[in-house]
Amino acid sequence: MSQPQKFTKEEIDQISELRDQLGNIINEFGQIEIEFILANQRIESLKEAKEKLQNDYNSAQDKEREIVTKLNEKYGAGTVDLQSGEFIPASWLFDKML
């Protein structure tokens, strides 16, 4: 049976340096994984915000169509001058172009 032997200082230093290096690499892997987790959470949050805005946009378009339909029923086809608050019939615009 062999007897335990002591490593030299250089060998101990090499092993210690390698363990430190491996520990640092493992730590960096952990940091990168945390960054991925945070990035994915941010992406999910942005997807949810985008979906909400798309729904809000679709609702606004639906409201716009309702208003246009009501105004067309009341005034006929034409345009609205929001500055003056006037309705300009499409026939008036067409006649003016001729």
When divided into structural domains, the chain yields a total of 1
Residue 3 lies in a domain: no
Q: How many CB atoms lie within 10 A of CB 31?
A: 10
What confidence score (pLDDT) does residue 49 get? 98
Residue 37 lies in a domain: yes
Cα distances (Å, whole numbers) of residue 17 to 14, 23, 27, 31, 69: 5, 10, 15, 21, 77
What confidence score (pLDDT) does residue 94 get? 55
What confidence score (pLDDT) does residue 9 get? 97
Residue 64 lies in a domain: yes
What is the mean predicted confidence (pLDDT) over 64-70?
Answer: 93
Residue 4 lies in a domain: no
Q: Which of 5-19, 65-79, 81-95 has the lowest mean pLDDT?
A: 81-95
pLDDT in tens, 5-63: 999 999 999 999 999 999 999 999 999 999 999 999 999 999 999 999 999 999 999 99
Q: Is the pLDDT of residue 97 over 80?
A: no
Domain that includes residue 37, residue range: 9-97
